[in-house]
Amino acid sequence: MRIGTGYDVHKLVEGRKLMIGGIEIEHDKGLLGHSDADVLIHAIMDSILGALALGDIGKLFPDTDMKYKNIDSKILLKEVYDIINEKGYKIGNVDATIAAQKPKLAPYILDMRHTIASILNTDIDNISIKATTTEELGFVGRCEGISAQSVVLLVENK
């Protein structure tokens, strides 16, 4: 077994779609980043790469490489899943938390879980996603950005 943690944060800006957990969320702002800035998928990828001692997503998918410009983070997660397989592991479980003051994410969580479970080739019961606010404190509370944290357990693929 291997355990990894991940954290990501992106600034909210006008003129971008808001992508979280591989789905588009209705909101007047989106997250700024080199890719689609899917803060949840990025945190999950970092937790997986951390569990495998392979660094972070910036090492694997550098923001200096134009082939990743505006790329769908689901494509990157699939690449990380392929690495899990190559290393002889599979998902035990993922536990993730998104911190966003707005929009309310509860209506989207089941779709996020389905999307991520499908990419990681695991049962939806192995993917836990929670959303919280910061009670109007900090950059999240001021609606300046959204953050996500993830913990993953990888188990040997026997």
Annotated binding-site ranges for a divalent metal cation: 8, 10, 42
Burial 99-134 (b: 16+ CB within 10 A, else e): bbbebebeebbeebbebbbebbebeeebbebebeee
C-alpha–C-alpha distance, residues 39 and 46, integer Å: 11
What are the helix (H) ranges across the chain? Answer: 39-51, 57-60, 73-86, 109-119, 138-141
CA angle 144, 96, 76 (to 5 degrees): 80
Report the 10 Å Cβ neighbour count for 39: 27
Annotated binding-site ranges: 8-10, 34-35, 42, 56-58, 61-65, 132-135, 139, 142
C-alpha–C-alpha distance, residues 108 and 114, integer Å: 10
